[in-house]
Structure 1
Amino acid sequence: MDMDAAARTEWWESLPAGIRDEIDGYVLKDSLLMAVRVVTAVGRVPHGIGLGTAQLIANDRYLHYGDRIAREPESPLDLESLACRAAGCEGRIVAIEAIWDGDTVHDWFVRLLAITADPAGEAHMATVYWSTAKRYLGGEGNRHTRHPAAVAAEQAGRALADHLSVPFHFAGPDTPDDEAPRWTESAEAR
């Protein structure tokens, strides 16, 4: 069932206040999937609301609240901030690695990790979403043909690796791939 903006507003206003509060609660916490899930659960059977319309209704609520939504803070990508995070790592940093990840909220993004030894592990340095990359790259972000998150993560990750005098690894920076070989795997193959 397709609904135009007026029909969505009318449907929204017909909901009990408790359901509206629940959906708005998820929206204000930036939990889009949960908001869509509730809209679909209460609207599918009696009103024929499918996933597409539920997403539009949730988006209407996002537009309604705008800057009041509690967004997840973006990771800093400047060298000084990354170096400060790296200094707090447990273990000796042996590499900086960028890996692809993704979810239904952010689509594809890149995680910057410090790979450690003594003890072996990894420490989160930054998460580079599309919006984080655009902020970091500024006007330069429009000049690249690759995903902005990959470009920003590669620049910030290389700068940190150079600062720490360790290798930088990013398998498959040109195409999102959350199954690309990890640094430890490629280091063992050398």
Structure 2
Amino acid sequence: MGDKTATQWWELLPAGVRQQVDGYVLQDAHMQAIRVVLAAGRARGLGLTDAQYVVAERYDHHGDAIARTPDSPLDLESLAARAAGLHGRVVAVEAVWDGDTFHDWFVVLLAITADPDAEHPLATIYWGTAVRHLGDTGNRGTRHPSAAAADQAGRALADHLCVPFHFASPDTPDDEAPRRRS
């Protein structure tokens, strides 16, 4: 992190910007908070990595006061209800990797429909979501927890719907892995 600490960068931001950033952090709006810090600090030399550290420090500062975004439900009943409410006939369930600087790697569970052809996100499975879903005794082997939870929930849903399940890269995060073909 450049020549300044996250605390020093924070103190250089105007009071109104700091208040806005804390508001976003308390709403668990991580990316918006980073965008505000970056925009306000860029002229002073603050870069993206510095902005991320500033926001991470604000998350640490506020701790349990943050209204965390709820986990996506991964139980079969919830996933089946979401799939049943989609427009179109579900023809497959697919798990795909994605990632960002805040969550690292995560898996998105999709329902693939025909008539109309579309893909519908059913659940976003972050590390913490996966660990809570799998529990302490979750059998994941050497897999990333998000992959293990997506594989478990996706297969159960696909079996329930009598459609194929596709997860091109369950053992290695890869957001460019081949997608399901019709």
Cα deviation for residue 42 of structure 1 reads 4.5
1:94–1:116 CA contact under 8 A, matched in 2: yes
Aligned amino acid, residue 164 of structure 2: P
Worse-superposed segment, 64-73 or 127-136: 64-73
1:113–1:122 CA contact under 8 A, matched in 2: yes
TM-score w.r.t. structure 2 length? Answer: 0.83
Of the two, which has the highest radius of gyration? 1
The answer to whether residue 153 in structure 2 is matched with residue 167 in structure 1 is no
Cα deviation for residue 71 of structure 1 reads 2.5
Aligned amino acid, residue 94 of structure 2: E
Cα deviation for residue 74 of structure 1 reads 1.1
Structure 2 counterpart of 1:25 = 23
1:2–1:53 CA contact under 8 A, matched in 2: no
Distance 1:45 1:111, change over 3 A: closer
Aligned sequence identity (%): 66
2:21–2:36 CA contact under 8 A, matched in 1: yes
Q: What is the SS of the residue equivalent to 2:173?
A: coil
TM alignment of 1:1-190, pairs within 5 A: 1-3=2-4, 8=7, 12=10, 15-43=13-41, 49=46, 51-141=48-138, 144-183=141-180, 185=181, 187=182
Cα deviation for residue 45 of structure 1 reads 5.6
User: Partners in 2 of 1:112 and 1:128 — Cα distance?
Assistant: 8
Aligned amino acid, residue 100 of structure 2: D
TM-score w.r.t. structure 1 length? Answer: 0.80
Q: Which residues of structure 2 form unaligned runs of 5+?
A: none
Aligned residues: 181
Distance 1:24 1:142, change over 3 A: farther
Q: What is the SS of the residue equivalent to 2:159?
A: helix
Cα deviation for residue 76 of structure 1 reads 0.4
Q: Which residues of structure 1 form unaligned runs of 5+?
A: none
User: Partners in 1 of 2:9 and 2:99 — Cα distance?
Assistant: 32
Distance 1:15 1:142, change over 3 A: farther
2:13–2:41 CA contact under 8 A, matched in 1: no
Cα deviation for residue 11 of structure 1 reads 6.2
